[in-house]
Chains A and B, each alone.
Chain A
Amino acid sequence: MPRRLLRDHRIVVDDWRYAGDPEIAAGAAVPGTAVPLILNFAVWLTERARWEDYGGPLGVLLAPAHAVEQLAPDLARFACVAAEFPGPSEGRGYTQGRLLRERYRFAGELRATGHVGRDQLFFLARCGFNSFELPEAELEPARAALATFSAAYQSANDAGLAAKLARR
């Protein structure tokens, strides 16, 4: 069964592949083909020339320590930015998300990957994430978890929730 994820509140087949996936490493996607492909940011920085002419959509995977400022000049080249959450206490991705959306106006897919569960989704979504990689069995509960709270005290990436606050 193809891998599915939660994107824009819908459970859909993930059309993206990571450059490190075994099938990709085996040559199923090489420059010149068109599989939507997510590169490690470190790979992009060192092998950028090789990927400049890639025929399909490109995405980029940020580690928590990566500064979005460094990615910003190239942002237009990417249709997807994935932020990695290596463990349950990792929180830098939340800032990466907000900066990408609010400061650099990134309008493509912003994806959370790694140690992400339904209990984090509401907050991730408020930071601008619109796609979430989760185990298949978690997808449906995770979709419901996006509506855990119906209001918010802070302005973030969801005009709706904060607008409620402004009206009181």
Chain B
Amino acid sequence: MYRYDAIDATLVNERVAEFRDQTRRFLAGELGEDEFRHLRLRNGLYIQRHAPMLRVAIPYGLLSSQQLRVLGSIARRYDRGYGHFTTRQNIQYNWPKLEEVPDILAELATVEMHAIQTSGNCIRNTTSDHLAGVAPDELEDPRPWCEIIRQWSTFHPEFTYLPRKFKIAVTGAARDRAASLVHDVGVHLKRGPGGEPGFEIIAGGGLGRTPIIGQVVREFLPREHLLSYLEAVLRIYNREGRRDNLTKARIKILVRSLGIEEFRRRVEAEWELIKDQDGLRVTEAEVARMRGFFNPPAYRPLPDTDPAAGRETAFRAWYRYNTTAHKIAGYRAVYVSLKKPDVAPGDATDGQLELVADLADRYSFGEVRVTHTQNLLLADVEQEQTFELWQALAGAGLATPNIGTLTDMICCPGLDFCSLANAGSIDVAKLINERFDDYDYVYDLGEIDVKMSGCMNACGHHHVGHIGILGVDKGGEEWYQITIGGAAGADASLGTVLGPSVAKAAVPQTLARLLDVYVEQRHPDERFLDTVRRLGVKPFKERVYAAPAAA
């Protein structure tokens, strides 16, 4: 993984000093609430419903075991013993004290971590495929490019006060596991007509109040030009993005109002003027230097085996659902499920974080990844060690065998923590888990993405869930609007609203009716999503609203 040199360390330490002084000025009354808000947001600090919330950056979801241990220790000493992983591969602490945040940031800096630009109207943490470097369907490891973008975007002087937040996702595989089509910019590693390496550039995707799938700005960009092209996109956005209306300020609105052709024309015209600037060209030496940080670990030559053969049912189920193929023979990538039925999706305790760090050291070359779907991943586990690993994970409540299934829900913190939320999401996840506690049934349903947001800001990506659940406020009560047919991958689509929203207690029953239609109508091996795409919303809608749902 990337390791800091003196320059990276200096910058992060100087940032801690800067924020310590800003916090001191705020607490001393020298900085107003509004002034400080702009500064604290750039350091990941929100003021939430109950307390401040600190979002710590996990660049493209990659952590060393040492970093994970520090995250666990911070959860214990500065929070209430847990952290929450987000769809953008970051971790959030819900209970830090404002005056202690500079100390937390200083501790993070000791392990090459920070909370820089994890909120505010600036370029956010660059996210990527959690299977980067190990996925069999990968063209090339995207992480060197993520790090190149991370550095370029960190403290970029021109783009620190954008019209709105700006999120970039980079993928290098056939399957898009980073939801790049619903990012402000998606970068896809690609080969050009002559086999030369480069990128496809997508822009204008996003969720929130106005969900839009990103469009292709440039079909092929030679790789040396990545930063100049991003700079051109950002410059057009910084100049022309709307600043008069917060809900129309994302780049997706600019792209939509100009049309993709005109947006492209403006970006290309700007790019022509800057593409040969020295500082923006990514040199071969820099590519080689960055790649050096992401060399494959020292894999042992191993045969492919079936470690599940002859083992107990519980392990076989876990192996099937919570591990996935690795490009190296004899290895598996292993999900650490943070979707235990009675725990808020994406939450992990201090002890769990430290245990996963130890397991990473023992079984996976000391590295851990955070997935977009709010789980953790040990990417490089020997197949023959998966049984031992499973036992250790199961002992800590981290082996719920549900990855990719109905109960592997994406879920925002909702009304319990977030000051923006209209409705709870964690408790709805709990209701769904209680209703669908029969694994045989859940497995029979196959791959289903359920995504839930407590408000239209869509942190839980409900628009792109096969089943999406959106919390709405109806006369002071929590109700839920259901969408079906959304998808976040390379075939991204936005879900269709089923009909009137349903009461909280009726959400599980509503899902059950949707799934009944699917089970009755599906073709062999057809996913729920594909059945919805084939049949349309109508039969699902008819069933759901045929009779009032019993709670």
Residues on A lying within 8 angstroms of B by beta carbon are 64, 67, 88-92, 94-95, 98, 103, 117, 119-120, 122-124, 126-127, 148-156, 162, 164-165, 168
Least Cβ–Cβ distance between B369 and chain A, in angstroms: 24
In this assembly, does B238 line the interface, its C-beta being within 8 Å of a C-beta of chain A?
yes
Q: A95 touching B238 by the CB < 8 A rule?
A: yes
A47 to B10, CA, bound (A): 50
A90 to B244, CA, bound (A): 11
In this assembly, does B22 line the interface, its C-beta being within 8 Å of a C-beta of chain A?
yes
Q: B280 touching A153 by the CB < 8 A rule?
A: no
A168 CB contacts on chain B under 8 angstroms: 5, 7
9 nearest interchain CB pairs? A155-B279, A91-B161, A126-B157, A123-B157, A153-B151, A94-B158, A151-B7, A149-B14, A88-B38
A90 CB contacts on chain B under 8 angstroms: 161, 243
Q: B280 touching A119 by the CB < 8 A rule?
A: no
Least Cβ–Cβ distance between B249 and chain A, in angstroms: 10
In this assembly, does B299 line the interface, its C-beta being within 8 Å of a C-beta of chain A?
no
Q: B35 touching A123 by the CB < 8 A rule?
A: no
B280 CB contacts on chain A under 8 angstroms: 155
B160 CB contacts on chain A under 8 angstroms: 91, 94, 120, 123
Least Cβ–Cβ distance between B416 and chain A, in angstroms: 29
Q: A98 touching B18 by the CB < 8 A rule?
A: no
B18 CB contacts on chain A under 8 angstroms: 119, 148-149
Nearest residue (CB) in A for B279 is: A155
Q: A127 touching B7 by the CB < 8 A rule?
A: no
A123 to B157, CA, bound (A): 5
A149 to B7, CA, bound (A): 10
Q: B35 touching A88 by the CB < 8 A rule?
A: yes
Q: B5 touching A91 by the CB < 8 A rule?
A: no
Nearest residue (CB) in B for A162 is: B279
Cβ contacts A to B, 27 pairs, < 8 Å:
A88-B34, A88-B35, A89-B121, A89-B243, A90-B161, A91-B160, A91-B162, A91-B163, A119-B22, A119-B35, A122-B157, A123-B155, A126-B157, A127-B157, A127-B158, A149-B15, A149-B155, A150-B10, A151-B7, A152-B157, A153-B11, A153-B151, A153-B154, A153-B156, A154-B156, A155-B279, A156-B279
| Residue of A64, A94, A162, A168 most packed against chain B (CB within 10 A) | A94
In this assembly, does B538 line the interface, its C-beta being within 8 Å of a C-beta of chain A?
no
A124 to B156, CA, bound (A): 11
Nearest residue (CB) in A for B234 is: A95
Nearest residue (CB) in B for A124 is: B157
Q: B11 touching A94 by the CB < 8 A rule?
A: no
A151 CB contacts on chain B under 8 angstroms: 7, 10-11
B35 CB contacts on chain A under 8 angstroms: 88, 117, 119
Chain B contact residues, majority secondary structure: helix
Nearest residue (CB) in B for A145 is: B18
Least Cβ–Cβ distance between B248 and chain A, in angstroms: 14
In the complex, the number of residue pairs spanning A and B with C-beta atoms less than 8 Å apart equals 88
B154 CB contacts on chain A under 8 angstroms: 153
Least Cβ–Cβ distance between B417 and chain A, in angstroms: 25
With A119-B39, A153-B152, A168-B5 already in contact, the answer to whether A94 and B34 are too (CB < 8 A) is: no
In this assembly, does B159 line the interface, its C-beta being within 8 Å of a C-beta of chain A?
yes
Contact code string B1-35 (vs A, CB < 8 Å = 1, else 0): 00001010011001100100010000000000011
Residues on B lying within 8 angstroms of A by beta carbon are 5, 7, 10-11, 14-15, 18, 22, 34-35, 38-39, 121, 151-152, 154-163, 235, 238-239, 243, 273, 277-280
A21 to B277, CA, bound (A): 41
B159 CB contacts on chain A under 8 angstroms: 91, 94
| Residue of B156, B162, B277 most packed against chain A (CB within 10 A) | B156
With A168-B5, A168-B7 already in contact, the answer to whether A94 and B161 are too (CB < 8 A) is: yes
Chain A contact residues, majority secondary structure: loop
A165 CB contacts on chain B under 8 angstroms: 7
Task: Given contacts A94-B160, A149-B18, A154-B155, list 5 more A-B pairs with CB under 8 A.
Answer: A91-B159, A91-B238, A103-B273, A151-B10, A154-B152
Nearest residue (CB) in A for B6 is: A168
Nearest residue (CB) in B for A87 is: B243
Least Cβ–Cβ distance between B258 and chain A, in angstroms: 16
Nearest residue (CB) in A for B289 is: A168
Least Cβ–Cβ distance between A101 and chain B, in angstroms: 11
A88 to B31, CA, bound (A): 13
With A89-B161, A94-B160, A95-B235 already in contact, the answer to whether A153 and B277 are too (CB < 8 A) is: no
Q: A156 touching B273 by the CB < 8 A rule?
A: no
A89, A98, A164: the one contacting B7 at CB < 8 Å is A164
A155 to B280, CA, bound (A): 7
B14, B15, B243, B277: the one contacting A155 at CB < 8 Å is B277
A154 CB contacts on chain B under 8 angstroms: 152, 155-157, 279
A151 to B156, CA, bound (A): 12
Least Cβ–Cβ distance between B292 and chain A, in angstroms: 13
B238 CB contacts on chain A under 8 angstroms: 91-92, 94-95
Q: B277 touching A95 by the CB < 8 A rule?
A: no
A63 to B38, CA, bound (A): 21
Q: B235 touching A89 by the CB < 8 A rule?
A: no
| Residue of A64, A98, A149, A168 most packed against chain B (CB within 10 A) | A149
With A88-B34, A154-B152, A162-B279 already in contact, the answer to whether A149 and B11 are too (CB < 8 A) is: yes
B239 CB contacts on chain A under 8 angstroms: 67, 92, 95
B10 CB contacts on chain A under 8 angstroms: 149-151
With A88-B34, A94-B160, A94-B238 already in contact, the answer to whether A153 and B5 are too (CB < 8 A) is: no
Q: B158 touching A156 by the CB < 8 A rule?
A: yes
A98 CB contacts on chain B under 8 angstroms: 158
A124 to B159, CA, bound (A): 11
Least Cβ–Cβ distance between B273 and chain A, in angstroms: 7
A118 to B58, CA, bound (A): 29
A168 to B293, CA, bound (A): 15
A148 CB contacts on chain B under 8 angstroms: 14, 18
Nearest residue (CB) in A for B160 is: A123
A120 CB contacts on chain B under 8 angstroms: 160-161
A95 to B158, CA, bound (A): 6
B15 CB contacts on chain A under 8 angstroms: 149
Least Cβ–Cβ distance between A165 and chain B, in angstroms: 6
Least Cβ–Cβ distance between A147 and chain B, in angstroms: 9
